[in-house]
Amino acid sequence: MFYYLSHLTGHFSFLNIFNYITFRTGAAIFTSFLLTLLIGPAVVRKLRSYKIQQIERDYGPASHLSKSGTPTMGGILILVSLLVSVLFWAQLSNAYIWLLIFATISLGFAGVMDDYTKLVKKNPEGMKSSIKLAIQLITALIVVGYLAINPPNAQYATSLIIPYMSKMFINLSIFYFAFAMLVIVGTSNATNLTDGLDGLASGCMVFTAVTYGIFAYVAGNVNFADYLKIIYVPGAGEIAVFMGALIGACMGFLWFNAYPAQVFMGDTSSLFLGGVIGTAALCVKQELLLPISGGLFLIETASVMLQMGYFKITHGKRLFKMAPIHHHFELKGIPEPKVIVRFWIVGVVLMLISLASLKIR
């Protein structure tokens, strides 16, 4: 919204600042962060008064039983702050912004309904997994369908760009579209699995969003893209503003979600956060960077798959003490705050490795 003030530069030259993506990205971070801090206490009180609270299951770590009663669905803080900040600072005529908003609202709706079913309707299983998956698949189909009709870069429409290589790619042809849907649905569920410790998912999400915010800015600038030898995507720079709003919202949520958490995000945010990152990866044509920048989400998901596979093959034996793997470390006696901070450290390292691909080509 504020971007359009730059059209008045002829009358007020200082308004040209709203034309700069870097300024609006910084403003988006500050706006969503501040808004989350301002509305956070009231939202936590409301959730507590309505008894929308965490119910720990018996088969989880015993140390988590003390968390029963903690307000849940706090992800509404991220959802609201993100959307408000984006509407304030993004260029609303940009198609990628609306694609990301669509993914946010659609997957956010699935998360809200899942939490509502669990916490208000008192159904511990939540929304039927088939319905949840259907919403994820429909969302992914619409996003991928739009990108198929309006590819970010027509020359590489069905190709995967190999990180650390100068415009080397793998052409998947028609199979790219199934892969693209897997990116969105898989990242959505991976983030959901990671949301098991105080501040873990939101903290890790910040590092991944920083990576894609920087790549979006570079990919959207023809000079930077040419100099760094990455795929130029017209209009992708605005995705940096969206990532900025996401970073600020997650940081603000961490204020309340850091150990010991005053509120949990629930599926309300965990589902859409991953879906949005997956969508951004498709838009900037950096799909193969996602397993690196979002490596922690991949590790968490892989640990669950390995646990299930090993359990079936060995007829009841476990590879880990518990999956996802963050619970394995807890059960080995590592305090929860230490597990969280160590995961954050790994997240920072993965972010730096990802950003290094801008120069290592």
Q: What does the pLDDT read at residue 26? A: 98
Q: Among positive and negative, which fits the CA dihedral 58, 63, 65, 67? A: negative
* Stretches in the chain below the pLDDT threshold 50: none
Distance of CA 77 to the CA centre of its chain: 14
**Bridging pattern class, strands 159-161 and 169-171:** antiparallel
Please report how many Cα atoms fall inside a 13 Å half-sphere around the Cα of residue 252, on the Cβ side.
30
> Are 300 and 347 spatial neighbours (Cβ–Cβ below 8 Å)?
no
Q: What does the pLDDT read at residue 167? A: 73
Q: Helix crossing, 176-194 with 267-283: angle to 10°?
A: 150
**Cis ω on the peptide bond leading into residue 71 (within 30° of 0)?**
no
**Cis ω on the peptide bond leading into residue 124 (within 30° of 0)?**
no
- How does DSSP assign 339-350, residue by residue? HHHHHHHHHHHH
Q: What does the pLDDT read at residue 221? A: 97
DSSP 232: -
Strands (E) in the chain, as ranges, are: 159-161, 169-171
Q: What does the pLDDT read at residue 120? A: 82
pLDDT in tens, 252-280: 999 999 999 999 999 999 999 999 999 99
Two structure tokens written together for 259: 């150990």
Q: What does the pLDDT read at residue 268? A: 92
Q: Which amino acid is at 220?
A: G
**Exposed, middle or buried: residue 56 (CB in 10 Å: 0-12, 13-18, 19+)?**
middle
Which residue has 């979002």 as its token pair?
294
Residue 34: CB partners within 8 Å, gap ≥ 6?
A: 248, 252
Q: What does the pLDDT read at residue 59? A: 57
